[in-house]
Structure formats: structure tokens, C-alpha cells
């Protein structure tokens, strides 16, 4: 078992109930997409699974442990076994790409190695190999604040590939990428997880990408699980119900919002080309 949530609820400090009565069991090696409208609770759910947020009530078992019963040191060790891909990676602006990727293993390295790596990157070949899987092998020594939003997002993915965690939590990991790159990046994550027997949970804006690339789909709405089904059983009606009130159309890959897009990302001519 990778993780199990039992009747988990989460109320934010301001009293807002972001998740209520969530029960979800996921076996090691499963690949799951979490879909649902904005504000549904997808990020909150992933933060719970990363032991970054503590449930207000209910039980959580994560990689065989009860995270919130662990002493601080063991909780840190547990978090080091989990890799998080953020929508906008929180990287120090002047950091080099290579350092950002190598940071994926900071939690696994002794302190001396981490500090030395800030001065002279410890494993340039390893970082390059991870970046090359996302066509960024040549950007190793670029500064993170001088690459595009889409490239930065792929650096965040390369970091988690380099980390090799047992559980990958990817929160809208391809929202800044054009459709072809988005598909490629999600595939790379899926292949990496499959090859290593790791579990992958990705929240995705694009339902077509979720259905095409993930065997199991969890729909979240208003802080609750609306459905939890094999991709083939989801069906359009269920998706329309999930996104009811969000407009007529379902969010598809070509609609992904982009920021700081590379030239290839932009332009109406490309939109929809892949879908």
C-alpha cells in the first residue's frame, strides 16, 4: 500500500472546509490522475499526501507510516521518500538549473555533500541525464530566472526524476507546456514511475490528458471525491457533471493556461493541433 486516507477532513485556519470525508486507498505502483474544477481541493489533497498539511480529522497512512505520529526526524525522512512537482517550482531565482535538479536528493545526502554540491555540483552527469529526458540536457548551467516558465516547470519534473522517490505527487505539472510537451512530460513521469514501481499521483487540468495517460481517475469536487474509477469507465457525462457550472466545454489539453511561454507554445495556430 502506498497510502490510505480514511475519512479525512481538512479545515483551514480561517474555518474553510477544503476537504471532507475523503477515503482513498492506493497501492504501490499505481498511477492516478486527480481532476476537478478550480477550488475543488486537488492541491490540498496532494499537500496532505505529501505530509505538508495535517488532517483536521480522519486517518492517514503514508508509505507504511502514520506520519503525524512520527517524531520530527522520522517525519523528515518520510518526506524525503516523496517527490513533489509544483505547478510553479519554488526555486531560488539565481540558482543554476543543475543545482535545482540535484536538490532533489538533498534529503538523501549527508549535510557535507549537500553543502559541497552548492559550490561544485556533485553529480552533473546525473542531472544532465534527468534533464535530457525532458529535452533540457543543454540548459544545465542556465540560471532558473532566465529560462521560460515552461522550461522551469520541466526543471521541476527533472528534479523529481533525479530524486527517484517512492511516491511522486505532481500538482498541475504541465500547466505551462504546449500540448505536445505536456503529453511528453506526463509520459516521462508515468514511465519513470512504472519502471521503478513508484506511485504517481498527478492533478491535471486537462481531462483528455488524464484519461489518455492514467489508468485510474479520481474526480474531486467541493472537497469530496465525486468518483474514483478506471479511466475507461469515467465517461463524458460524469466529467460534465464534475465541471458543471464551469462553462459548457470540458477543460482539454489545448486550453492549458500558459505563462512565460516559449515561442513554440504561443499562437492560435498551434492551439488544438494535437487534440
Give residues in contact with Mg ion (CB under 5 A): 42-43
39 near ligand ATP (CB under 6 A): yes
Stretch that binds ligand ATP, among 33-41, 132-140, 142-150, 162-170 (CB under 6 A): 33-41
C-beta separation of 146 from 21 below 8 A: no
Which residues have C-beta within 8 Å of that of residue 83, sequence separation ≥ 6?
Answer: 104, 159, 160, 163, 164, 165, 167, 168, 169
Contact 183, 124 (CB under 8 A): no
Q: How far is the CB of 43 from Mg ion (least distance, A)?
A: 3
> Where do the H-state alpha helices sit in 25-120?
42-49, 72-79, 97-102, 111-119
Rounded to a whole number of angstroms, the minimum distance from the CB of residue 6 to ligand ATP is 19
Task: Provide the pairing of β-strand 17-26 with 3-11.
Answer: antiparallel
Work out what residue 14 binds among Mg ion, ligand ATP, none; the CB cut-off runs from 5 to 8 Å by kind. Answer: ligand ATP
The H or E element spanning position 126 is: helix 124-132
Contact 53, 44 (CB under 8 A): yes
72 φ, ψ to 5°? -50, -40
In whole angstroms, the minimum distance from the beta carbon of 40 to Mg ion comes to: 8
Q: Which of 221, 235, 180 lies closest to 34, judged by CA?
A: 221
User: Rule CB under 6 A: is residue 257 a binding residue for ligand ATP?
Assistant: no
Give me the 211-250 binding string for ligand ATP, x by CB under 6 A, dash otherwise.
----------------------------------------
- State the Cα–Cα distance between residues 177 and 173, nearest whole angstrom: 9
Which is closer to ligand ATP, CB of 104 or CB of 149?
A: 149
Question: Which position among 5, 22, 40, 155 is part of the footprint of ligand ATP (CB under 6 A)?
Answer: 40
Which listed option, Mg ion, ligand ATP, none, makes contact with residue 38 (CB within 5 to 8 Å by class)? Answer: ligand ATP
Closer residue to ligand ATP, CB minimum distance, 43 or 163: 43
Among 2, 43, 148, 153, binds ligand ATP (CB under 6 A): 43
Write out the residues near ligand ATP by the rule CB under 6 A. Answer: 12, 14, 16, 18, 36, 38-44
Amino acid at each position: 500500500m502506498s497510502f490510505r486516507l480514511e475519512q479525512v477532513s481538512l479545515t483551514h485556519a480561517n474555518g474553510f472546509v477544503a476537504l471532507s470525508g475523503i477515503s482513498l486507498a492506493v497501492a504501490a505502483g499505481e498511477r492516478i490522475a486527480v481532476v476537478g474544477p478550480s477550488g475543488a481541493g486537488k492541491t490540498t489533497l496532494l499537500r496532505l499526501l505529501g505530509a505538508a498539511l495535517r488532517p483536521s480529522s480522519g486517518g492517514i497512512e503514508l508509505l507504511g507510516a502514520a506520519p503525524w505520529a512520527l517524531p520530527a526526524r522520522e517525519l523528515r525522512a518520510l518526506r524525503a521518500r516523496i517527490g513533489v512537482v509544483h505547478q510553479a517550482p519554488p526555486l531560488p531565482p539565481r540558482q543554476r538549473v543543475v543545482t535545482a535538479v540535484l536538490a532533489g536528493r538533498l534529503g538523501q545526502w549527508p549535510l557535507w555533500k549537500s553543502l559541497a554540491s552548492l559550490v561544485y555540483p556533485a553529480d552533473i552527469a546525473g542531472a544532465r541525464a534527468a534533464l535530457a529526458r525532458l529535452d533540457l540536457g543543454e540548459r544545465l548551467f542556465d540560471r532558473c530566472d532566465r529560462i521560460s516558465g515552461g522550461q522551469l516547470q520541466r526543471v521541476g519534473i527533472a528534479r523529481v526524476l533525479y530524486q527517484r522517490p517512492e511516491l511522486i505527487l505532481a500538482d498541475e505539472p504541465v500547466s505551462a507546456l504546449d500540448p505536445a510537451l505536456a503529453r511528453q512530460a506526463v509520459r516521462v513521469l508515468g514511465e519513470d514511475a512504472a519502471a521503478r514501481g513508484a506511485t504517481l499521483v498527478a492533478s491535471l487540468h486537462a481531462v483528455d490528458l488524464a484519461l489518455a495517460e492514467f489508468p485510474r481517475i479520481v474526480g474531486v469536487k467541493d472537497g469530496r471525491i465525486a468518483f474514483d474509477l478506471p479511466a475507461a469507465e469515467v465517461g463524458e457525462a460524469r466529467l460534465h457533471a464534475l465541471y458543471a457550472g464551469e462553462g459548457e466545454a470540458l477543460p482539454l489539453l489545448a486550453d492549458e493556461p500558459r505563462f512565460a511561454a516559449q515561442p513554440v507554445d504561443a499562437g492560435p495556430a498551434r492551439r488544438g493541433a494535437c487534440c
